[in-house]
């Protein structure tokens, strides 16, 4: 195993180069704001109130009681029912980016703080180098696996983490963790990275983490949408989809979380829509690569658990997303586990994560098809016995632009939930 100073020392050179790389963001959001509408009927609000005024709107999050929508300020001012919750979008965007002052601070804390990787959000190249260095540092525990290439030619990387003790895990019982399906949800990427770092760093010194890696396999994709994530660093911080071409030349990108083949339907027909599902199931390159990886490369692994990290609204979602009329198998135990995850988070940080059916979060109870083709439903139906989507902090003050000082607190509270999940899979009687 490499000395930790060697591992993190390499990063100081990489991180110093990142600051200049993010100065090219081109999108200006000074004329936009995020409005909260108190409504339990999302489709009526959009169809009857917003759509007649503009097609330039972006739904940020939905819940049982409200919906947050980014709108031009001149449009938002015409709608009486909306409350402005984010008015300074450009400022919040800048606050999520690394700065030269931050780089100097990291240089100063390097000798004593090996968690400095989590002081700020990291770009794709830095994350990929970090994953490769983890493999070199923990060669008996980590294998970086390549699922294929994206539309723009970037690698889609997964980490296979295991204690490699087949006598302890003869069934290849596996937990899958994904982040960054939606490019702008940076906190989901950092949170997945935090979880895998804790698992590896504590192996051998903590009985729990040692047991987790000896008795379970982990397949982890921190950045499920590499092209989109890279684009949020170079051009548009609020980009959501991937970056592949569509049948409409001026409209790029497919929402990966509407591209999976279970209960897929073409619910969002306009290719410029933030939730455009593509023309066929698995049209998104990343979803297609994942399908081949999980069913062919890892076809003999028994996936007991799936956690898909997203933001925002502090919710734990359980299947199904596509319809509220379809009840998941073993619903009582699924709910019990959901509330156990929520309790683990609350015990760690005091934060409350609501437990909600994914169909209600997506609005499928009101407008069928809004939740079609999700990774959550696909994994739950095809491979994973237990599957959840975690929508991380916050509840709207920053939305997708959560300040970097939240990275460690969110990582810690979510890791508490992951530990509860592992304990449950190893001993369902807890």
> 368: domain CATH number?
3.40.630.10
What pLDDT shows up at residue 15?
59
Quick one: 136 and 234 in the same domain? yes
Spatial distance between the Cα atoms of 148 and 137, rounded to a whole number of angstroms:
24
What pLDDT shows up at residue 99?
75
Look at residue 19 and tell me if it is in a domain: no
What pLDDT shows up at residue 116?
81
Quick one: 68 and 134 in the same domain? no
The edge-to-edge listing of strands for the beta sheet with 386-392 is 142-149, 155-161, 217-221, 173-178, 302-311, 386-392, 315-318, 354-357
Spatial distance between the Cα atoms of 367 and 269, rounded to a whole number of angstroms:
14
What pLDDT shows up at residue 111?
46
What pLDDT shows up at residue 420?
98
Maximum CA extent, the chain: 65
Pairing of strands 142-149, 58-62: unpaired
Quick one: 320 and 415 in the same domain? yes
What pLDDT shows up at residue 110?
47
Pairing of strands 315-318, 354-357: parallel
**DSSP code per residue over 370-429:** TTTT-HHHHHHHHT-SEEEEEEES-SSSSTT---GGGHHHHHHHHHHHHHHHHHHHH-TT
Q: 77, 95, 113 — which closes off a domain?
A: 95
Query: Of 142, 146, 236, nearest to 182 (Cα)?
Result: 236
Quick one: 314 and 185 in the same domain? yes
Look at residue 69 and tell me if it is in a domain: yes
Q: What Rg do the C-alpha atoms of the chain give, in angstroms?
A: 21
Contact by Cβ (8 Å): 179, 167: no
Query: Of 157, 112, 155, nearest to 134 (Cα)?
Result: 157
348 CB burial (10 A radius; 0-12, 13-18, 19+): middle
Q: Residue 107 — φ and ψ, nearest 5°?
A: -60, -40
What pLDDT shows up at residue 114?
62
Domain limits for position 66: 32-95
Quick one: 274 and 378 in the same domain? yes
Query: Of 240, 241, 282, 276, nearest to 259 (Cα)?
Result: 282
Quick one: 81 and 153 in the same domain? no
Quick one: 235 and 375 in the same domain? yes
Spatial distance between the Cα atoms of 209 and 205, rounded to a whole number of angstroms:
8
59 CB burial (10 A radius; 0-12, 13-18, 19+): middle
What pLDDT shows up at residue 109?
47
Quick one: 156 and 85 in the same domain? no
Quick one: 86 and 160 in the same domain? no
List, in order, residues 6 or more apart from 229 with CB less than 8 Å away. Answer: 124, 180, 183, 186, 189, 223
Q: What is the pLDDT along the chain (430 residues), one digit of tens a residue?
A: 445 555 555 555 555 555 445 555 778 999 999 999 987 667 788 888 999 999 999 999 988 788 999 999 999 999 988 999 999 999 999 999 987 555 555 554 444 456 888 999 999 999 999 999 999 999 999 999 999 999 999 999 999 999 988 888 888 999 999 999 999 999 999 999 999 999 999 999 999 999 999 999 999 999 999 999 999 999 999 999 999 999 999 999 999 999 999 999 886 778 999 999 999 999 999 999 999 999 999 989 999 999 999 999 999 999 999 999 999 998 999 999 999 999 999 999 999 999 999 998 887 766 667 789 999 999 999 999 999 999 999 999 999 999 999 999 999 999 999 999 999 999 876 5
What pLDDT shows up at residue 17?
54
What pLDDT shows up at residue 2?
46
Quick one: 45 and 127 in the same domain? no
Contact by Cβ (8 Å): 186, 235: no
Quick one: 343 and 407 in the same domain? yes
């Amino acid at each position: 195993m490499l000395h930790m100073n060697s591992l993190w020392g390499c990063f100081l050179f990489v991180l110093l180069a990142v600051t200049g790389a993010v100065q090219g963001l081109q999108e200006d959001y000074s004329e936009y704001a995020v409005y909260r509408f108190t409504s339990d009927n999302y489709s009526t609000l959009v169809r009857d109130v917003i759509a007649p005024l503009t097609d330039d709107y972006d739904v940020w999050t939905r819940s049982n009681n409200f919906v947050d929508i980014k709108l031009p300020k001149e449009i938002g001012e015409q709608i009486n029912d909306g409350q402005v919750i984010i008015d300074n979008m450009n400022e919040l965007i800048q606050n999520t980016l690394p700065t030269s002052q931050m780089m100097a601070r990291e240089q100063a804390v390097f000798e004593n703080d090996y968690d400095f990787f989590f002081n700020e959000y990291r770009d794709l190249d830095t994350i990929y180098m970090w994953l490769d260095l983890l493999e070199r540092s923990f060669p008996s525990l980590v294998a970086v696996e390549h699922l294929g290439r994206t539309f723009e030619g970037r690698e889609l990387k997964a980490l296979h983490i295991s204690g490699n003790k087949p006598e302890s895990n003869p069934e290849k019982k596996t937990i899958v963790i994904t982040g960054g399906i939606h490019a702008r949800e940076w906190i989901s990427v950092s949170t997945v990275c935090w979880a895998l770092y804790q698992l590896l760093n504590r192996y051998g010194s903590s009985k729990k983490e040692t047991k987790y890696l000896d008795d379970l396999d982990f397949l982890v994709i921190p950045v499920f949408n590499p092209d989109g994530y890279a684009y949020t660093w170079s051009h548009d911080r609020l980009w959501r989809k991937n970056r592949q071409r569509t049948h409409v030349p001026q409209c790029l990108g497919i929402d990966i979380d509407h591209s999976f083949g279970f209960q897929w339907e073409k619910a969002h027909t306009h290719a410029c829509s933030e939730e455009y599902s593509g023309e066929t199931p698995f049209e998104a390159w990343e979803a297609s690569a994942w399908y081949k990886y999980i069913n062919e490369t890892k076809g003999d692994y028994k996936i007991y658990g799936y956690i898909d990290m997203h933001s925002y609204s502090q919710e734990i979602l359980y299947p199904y997303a596509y319809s509220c009329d379809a009840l998941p198998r073993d619903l009582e135990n699924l709910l019990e586990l959901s509330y156990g995850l929520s309790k683990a988070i609350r015990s760690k940080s005091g934060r409350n994560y609501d437990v909600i059916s994914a169909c209600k979060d997506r609005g499928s109870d009101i407008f069928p098809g809004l939740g079609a083709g999700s990774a959550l439903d696909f994994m739950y139906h095809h491979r994973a016995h237990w599957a959840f989507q975690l929508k991380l902090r916050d509840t709207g003050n920053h939305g997708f632009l959560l300040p970097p000082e939240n990275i460690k607190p969110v990582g810690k509270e979510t890791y508490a939930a992951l530990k509860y999940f592992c304990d449950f899979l190893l001993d369902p009687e807890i």
